A and B are shown apart, each in its own frame.
Chain A
Amino acid sequence: MTEHDHDHERTVAPMVDEITDFEVLEVALRELCIEKGIFTAAEHRRFTEFAEQIGPTPAAHLVARAWLDPEFKALALAEPMAASKAVGVDWMEPTGFGTPSDFTAFQILEDTPNLHHVIVCALCSCYPRPILGNSPEWYRTPNYRRRLVRWPRQVLAEFGLYLPDDVEVRVQDSNQKHRFMVLPMRPEGTEGWTEDQLAEIVTRDCLIGVALPKVGVRTNVITDTRPAVHPVADRP
Chain B
Amino acid sequence: GSGVKRNSHHLHAVGKGDPQVYAGQAGTPAFRVGDRVVVRDELPVLFYTRTPEYVRGATGEIAAVAYESPAAEDETWDRPDAAPEWFYVVRFTMAQLWHGYTGTSADTLQTEIPEHWLRAAG
**Interface residue ranges, A against B (CB under 8 Å):** 37-40, 43, 91-92, 95-98, 100, 103-105, 107, 122-123, 149-154, 165, 168-178
B14 and A95: CB pair below 8 A? yes
Partner of A168, one of B6, B19, B107: B107
Assess the A149–B14 pair: CB atoms within 8 A: no
Given A97-B15, A104-B17, A105-B19, are A169 and B1 neighbors across the interface (CB < 8 Å)? no
User: Nearest-CB distance from A24 to chain B (Å)?
Assistant: 24
Collect the chain B residues with CB atoms within 8 Å of residue A38's CB: 1, 4, 6
Contacts A38-B1, A97-B15, A150-B98 given; indicate if A176 touches B110 (C-beta within 8 A): no
A97 to chain B: which residues have CB within 8 Å?
10, 13-18, 21
CB distance from A143 to the nearest CB of B (A): 16
What is the interface of chain B, defined by CB distance below 8 A to chain A? 1, 3-4, 6, 10, 13-21, 50-52, 54, 64, 66-67, 69, 72, 87, 89, 91, 94, 97-98, 101-104, 106-114
A178 touching B18 by the CB < 8 A rule?
A: no
Whether the pair B72, A91 counts as a contact (CB closer than 8 A) is no
With beta carbons under 8 angstroms apart, the residue of B18, B89, B97, B113 that contacts A98 is: B18
Q: Which 7 A-B pairs have the closest CB atoms?
A: A104-B17, A97-B13, A176-B112, A96-B14, A173-B111, A168-B106, A171-B109
Among A40, A92, A154, A177, the most chain B Cβ lie within 10 Å of the Cβ of: A177
A96-B15, A152-B107 known; A43 and B112 CB under 8 Å? no
B87 lies within 8 A of A168 (CB): no
**What distance in Å separates the Cβ of A51 from its nearest Cβ neighbour in chain B?**
18
In the complex, A96 Cα to B107 Cα: how many Å? 38
B-chain residues with CB within 8 Å of residue A43 when the two chains form the complex:
1
Q: Report whether A92 and B17 are in contact in the complex, using a CB–CB cutoff of 8 Å.
A: yes
